[in-house]
């Protein structure tokens, strides 16, 4: 049996003599795997132009029409309503963009593309990380585009505010992309999309303080706000752009990191248990 | 010293709720051979292959692929095998070359060898001119060729092909098999494929395992299996079937003589030599109908049914897979 390269020879040896040759390539393989999947996600994102465009249009409508329309007659916390909700709308685009991205894994499955990845000798955690970083990159581009438009509308006070917003977006998307991947990997068909929209995305958005201050809700709904990771994301985003915060940035970062770690752990396990018939 | 078998399966089973998709299959595949799993749709071939690839957990039994246990050493198994699935699994939005590059990274092909190996595989399957076009624009045959190149890219010891030519026109089917043969001969790869096309198994496999309803009912080289039937079935029409039947009965190479109307049928062994003798000895025959024995007849012998040749893919298999996914 002619061995074509090192790994084939090792494999042959292991098979021939029952040895387990320690594959030093394992660690290199992990990051290669993450990179390979991240690269694919980014390429696909930019080549599906409809996705990029539609991801930006909706938030823009919210800012310009809803924010501008209400902003003409409403003020909150002493500032123009449109200015107030801009960080909230940025967070909304992070939320929707991240969860939709995670749900797209259903298409990977339907098209059997996922099988190719599942049968490859990569750790499932590498697959999960690659997918997560891919989602975060997509969100980065979306938020970046929204910030540019926001800057034109005078809603971004400074360059630092913009950079801060991007950093917050990355932290929030790490959490939300993982959540989206968890949901997506347990769904069998796209028919469930609407359910996820109605029972996950809209509630997370509505109870996050994106559109109005959190303390104005009645007490029996308040606990939903407090338990919602996005609430802290919105708060942190508002701090980055406008300098105001309700919970304090340490609490915000701690909650977001904690939720992210939790979702990454669950998501990795969910990927590990994925089987294909 | 002979190489150890590439695959050893012992009492491998997969149960889905009340359905036994794979029921205690045992066999071994020799290193370097081309091995076919032949059976009608829904026989359990895809389920069996999924288990060998580490995509599905067996309910019981064991399988050893390229020297590794599929249940305990999944990563090593995956590193040693290449898989071409039934449904296309290349990414539409990437180019042919990009698909191969991603695969090379996922399988740990050393970076310094990637470019050359990819170029080699692309030219081997004749896609050099289209490697930078998106797969969206490829024809069915081109996609299959890309998947073949991808399957062998990382020098696997075993290549699994699940229904490799389903949905392709006959000419493309022959071309695909030429590529498979070329690649496997060059690299010494063991090839295991599933199919429900008899001629495919007969023409290209060194050995065949016939699978029906989750069980293996026969295994051997196609020629041997067919020869075990004892010969070709011959049907002679004549005005005096009784006399013909009596004469046939006395010929040593004719067995299972039966009369049906004015037709006398018999199984003739070594038909190439014996049919001329038969014709010379029985001058009063009106017509001869020769039914050349095929694997279908082997299937009938063991199961009493014909193997359906239609390529209906959905329905039964989908129901099995779906029932397996609901936990």
Nearest-by-Cβ selection for A5 from B4, B155, B324: B155
CB-CB under 8 Å, A28 with B108: yes
pLDDT per residue as tens digits for the range B197-206: 999 999 999 9
Question: How far apart are alpha carbons A207 and A214 in whole angstroms?
Answer: 8
Determine how β-strand B190-195 pairs with β-strand B34-38.
parallel
Q: How confident is the model at residue B203, as a pLDDT?
A: 92
Sheet holding B34-38, edge to edge: B81-84, B158-162, B190-195, B34-38, B207-212, B215-220
What whole-number percentage of chain B has pLDDT above 70? 93
Residues of A in contact with B79 (CB under 8 A): 7, 11, 23, 121
Max mean pLDDT range (A21-30, A191-200, B15-24): B15-24
Domain ranges of chain B: 7-226, 231-292
Residue B96 CB: number of other CB atoms within 10 A?
A: 27
Q: How confident is the model at residue A276, as a pLDDT?
A: 65
B28 contacts: CB under 8 Å, gap ≥ 6 = B5, B7, B8, B9
Q: Which residue of A has its CA nearest to B320?
A: A277
CB-CB under 8 Å, B92 with A8: no
**Residue B42 confidence (pLDDT) above 60:** yes
Q: How confident is the model at residue A18, as a pLDDT?
A: 33
Q: Chain A contact for B88, CB < 8 A?
A: yes
Superfamily for B231-292?
Answer: ACT domain (3.30.70.260)
Q: Which residue of B has its CA nearest to A189?
A: B322
Q: How confident is the model at residue B321, as a pLDDT?
A: 52
B210 contacts: CB under 8 Å, gap ≥ 6 = B38, B39, B216, B217, B218, B219, B225, B295, B298, B299, B302
Residues of B in contact with A123 (CB under 8 A): 75
pTM for the whole structure:
0.81
**Residue A27 confidence (pLDDT) above 60:** no
Check: CB of residue B307 under 8 Å from CB of residue B296. yes
Our CA dihedral for B188, B69, B327, B15, rounded to 10 degrees, sits at 80
pLDDT per residue as tens digits for the range A99-148: 988 888 887 877 677 888 888 998 889 999 999 999 999 999 999 999 99
Q: Chain A contact for B318, CB < 8 A?
A: no
pLDDT per residue as tens digits for the range A53-69: 888 888 888 888 888 88
Domain pair B7-226 / B231-292, same fold: no
Check: CB of residue B105 under 8 Å from CB of residue A35. yes
What whole-number percentage of chain A has pLDDT above 70? 89
* Residues within 8 A of A (CB atoms), B 117-176 only: 134, 150, 155, 157
Mutate to test the interface with B, among A42, A125, A277 (most CBs of B within 10 A): A277
Domain spanning B7-226: CATH 3.40.50.620: no
CB-CB under 8 Å, B325 with A188: yes
B29 contacts: CB under 8 Å, gap ≥ 6 = B5, B6, B7, B8, B35, B158, B190, B192, B207
Sheet holding B68-69, edge to edge: B19-29, B7-16, B60-65, B68-69
Q: Tally C-beta pairs within 8 A across A and B.
A: 125
């Amino acid at each position: 049996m002619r061995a074509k390269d090192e790994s084939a020879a090792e494999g042959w040896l292991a098979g021939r003599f029952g040895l387990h040759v320690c594959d030093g390539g394992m660690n290199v393989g992990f990051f290669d795997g993450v990179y390979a999947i991240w690269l694919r996600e980014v390429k696909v994102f930019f080549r599906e132009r409809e996705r990029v465009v539609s991801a930006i249009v909706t938030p823009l409508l919210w800012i310009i029409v809803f924010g501008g329309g209400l902003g003409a007659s409403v003020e909150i916390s002493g500032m123009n309503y449109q200015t107030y909700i801009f960080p909230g709308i940025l967070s909304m685009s992070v939320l929707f963009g991240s969860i939709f991205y995670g749900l797209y894994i259903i298409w990977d499955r339907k098209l059997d593309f996922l099988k190719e990845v599942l049968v490859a000798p990569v750790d499932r955690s590498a697959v999960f990380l690659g997918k997560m970083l891919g989602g975060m990159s997509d969100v980065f581009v979306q938020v970046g585009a929204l910030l540019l438009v926001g800057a034109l509308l005078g809603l971004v006070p400074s360059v630092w505010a913009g950079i801060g917003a991007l950093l917050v977006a990355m932290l929030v998307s790490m959490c939300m992309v993982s959540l989206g991947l968890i949901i997506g990997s347990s769904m069998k068909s796209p028919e469930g999309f609407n359910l996820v929209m109605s029972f996950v995305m809209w509630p997370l958005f509505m109870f996050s303080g994106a559109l109005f201050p959190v303390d104005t809700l009645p007490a029996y709904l308040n606990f939903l706000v407090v338990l919602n990771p996005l609430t802290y994301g919105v708060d942190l985003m508002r701090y980055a752009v406008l300098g105001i915060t309700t919970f304090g940035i340490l609490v915000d970062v701690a909650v977001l990191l904690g939720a992210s770690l939790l979702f990454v752990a669950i998501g990795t396990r969910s990927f590990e248990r994925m089987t294909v018939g | 010293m002979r190489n150890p078998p590439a695959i050893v399966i012992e009492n491998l089973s997969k149960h889905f709720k009340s359905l036994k998709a794979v029921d205690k299959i045992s066999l071994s595949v020799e290193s370097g051979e081309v091995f076919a799993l032949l059976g009608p749709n829904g026989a359990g071939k895809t389920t069996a292959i999924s288990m060998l690839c580490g995509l599905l957990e067996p309910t019981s039994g064991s399988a050893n692929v390229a020297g590794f246990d599929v249940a305990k050493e999944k990563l090593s198994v995956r590193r040693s095998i290449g898989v071409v699935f039934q449904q296309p699994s290349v990414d539409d939005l990437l180019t042919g070359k990009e698909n191969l590059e991603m695969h090379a990274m996922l399988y740990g092909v050393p970076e310094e060898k990637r470019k050359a190996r990819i170029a080699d595989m692309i030219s081997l399957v004749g896609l050099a001119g289209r490697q930078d076009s998106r797969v969206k624009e490829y024809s069915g045959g081109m996609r299959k060729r890309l998947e073949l190149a991808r399957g062998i890219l990382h020098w696997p010891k075993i290549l699994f092909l699940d229904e490799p030519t389903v949905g392709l026109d006959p000419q493309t089917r022959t071309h695909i098999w030429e590529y498979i043969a070329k690649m496997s001969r060059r690299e010494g790869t063991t090839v295991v494929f599933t199919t429900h096309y008899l001629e495919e198994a007969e023409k290209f496999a060194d050995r065949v395992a016939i699978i029906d309803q989750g069980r293996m009912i026969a295994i051997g080289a196609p020629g041997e299996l067919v020869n075990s039937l004892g010969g070709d079935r011959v049907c002679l029409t004549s005005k005096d079937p009784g006399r013909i039947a009596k004469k046939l009965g006395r010929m040593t190479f004719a067995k299972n003589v039966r009369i049906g109307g004015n037709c006398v049928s018999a199984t003739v062994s070594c038909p190439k030599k014996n049919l001329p003798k038969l014709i010379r000895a029985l001058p009063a025959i009106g017509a001869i109908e020769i039914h050349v024995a095929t694997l279908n007849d082997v299937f009938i012998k063991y199961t009493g049914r014909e193997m359906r040749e239609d390529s209906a893919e959905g329905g039964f298999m989908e129901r099995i897979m779906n029932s397996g996914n609901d936990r």
